[in-house]
Amino acid sequence: MVEKGVKEDPLVEAISRVFSGLSAEISRKMIHKPENQTKEEEPQIVEPAKEMDDNLKKAEDLFAKKKYISAEKWYLESCRKNPKNPLIYSRLGLIYLNQKNYQDANDAFEEAIKLKPGSDANYYSMSVCKFNLGDNDGAYRAARLAMKFNPSSKRYTDWAEKIKKLE
């Protein structure tokens, strides 16, 4: 059951599915490397984390149960201890996007991208935020970056084409 006050949205559900593998990816401590990436652009290995802190574990459990309002509290607590974890910002971005709080969602995805530049899902989500904020040019640029990191994604290509037609 979804918490009161959170609106279900098919676009947000689609983005959530894109992010579903992010936890496992963070756990493996590697940044995704697209097949067409050049040697200069090789991903950096992320320092191994000790263990997921208790706050992040609670947040992830609540997020999986779609209890976004409660999960937000625990992500923010975890962020105080580990402000360099891109997963936290990605999840907060999804929560805010689900609530149609596009500015906070955009800010969260921007921070996640600063910490983990190669995430196509973060660029795609940021593109959705920018589009909903009326920044079609920024939305298109973010969609193109998502395509750069995952050129085989039809979703990203279709999204970029839709935005381009609206310009």
The reply to whether 117 falls in a domain is: yes
For 37, residues 6+ apart whose C-beta sits below 8 A from its C-beta are 43
For residue 4, tell me if it sits in a domain.
Answer: no
3-state helix, strand, coil in the chain (%, to 5): 65, 0, 30
92 domain residue, yes or no: yes
Residue 113 lies in a domain: yes
Which secondary-structure segment (H or E) carries 70? helix 68-81
CA distance 157 to 15: 15
Per-residue pLDDT of the chain (167 residues; tens, 9 = 90+): 444 444 455 555 556 555 544 443 433 333 333 444 443 333 333 333 445 789 999 999 999 999 999 999 999 999 999 999 999 999 999 999 999 999 999 999 999 999 999 899 999 999 999 999 999 999 999 999 999 999 999 999 999 999 988 87
SS3 (DSSP) at 45? strand
CA angle (63 as vertex; 46, 13 as ends), nearest 5: 95
For 127, the token pair is 């593109």
Q: Please report whether residue 19 resides in a domain.
A: yes
What is the token pair recorded at 150? Answer: 């995952």
What range does the domain containing 17 cover? 10-28+52-166
- Give the count of domains, the chain: 1
The answer to whether position 131 is within a domain reads: yes
Q: What is the CATH number of the domain that holds 108?
A: 1.25.40.10
Q: Is residue 60 part of a domain?
A: yes
**pLDDT score of 17:** 53
Instruction: Take residue 159 and report the two structure tokens written for it.
Output: 């999204």
Q: What is the pLDDT of residue 49?
A: 44
Q: Which two tokens stand for residue 94?
A: 């999804």
Q: Is residue 42 part of a domain?
A: no
User: From CA 20, how far away is CA 64, in angstroms rounded?
Assistant: 9
Write the CB contacts of 65 (distance below 8 Å, at least 6 apart in sequence): none
State the pLDDT at residue 53: 87
